[in-house]
Amino acid sequence: MNPLCSRCNLVVYPTEKVNCLDKYWHKGCFSCEVCKMTLNMKNYKGFEKRPYCNAHYPKTNFTCVADTPENLRLKQQSKMQSQVLYREDFEKNKGKGFSVVADTPEMQRIKKTQDQISNVTYSSFFYLPVFSVLSAAYQSSAGSQNYNYEPAPEPVRQAAGGPPPSAGVGPPLSPPATFAKRYRAVYDYSAADEDEVSFMDGDVIVDVQQIDEGWMYGRVERTGQQGMLPANYVEAI
The predicted model scores a pTM of: 0.27
pLDDT tens digits, 69-84: 888 888 888 888 777 7
* CATH 2.10.110.10 domain span(s) along the chain: 1-87
Percentage of the chain beyond pLDDT 90 is 30
pLDDT value at position 185? 95
Fold of 183-236: SH3 type barrels. (2.30.30)
CATH of 1-87, one of 3.30.300.130, 2.70.70.10, 2.10.110.10, 3.40.50.80: 2.10.110.10
Condensed to tens digits (0 to 9), the pLDDT of residues 158-175 reads 555 555 555 444 455 544
Identify the pLDDT of residue 83: 78
| Nearest CA-CA partner of 118 in 228, 236, 2, 24 | 228
User: Where in the chain are all domains bearing CATH 2.30.30.40?
Assistant: 183-236
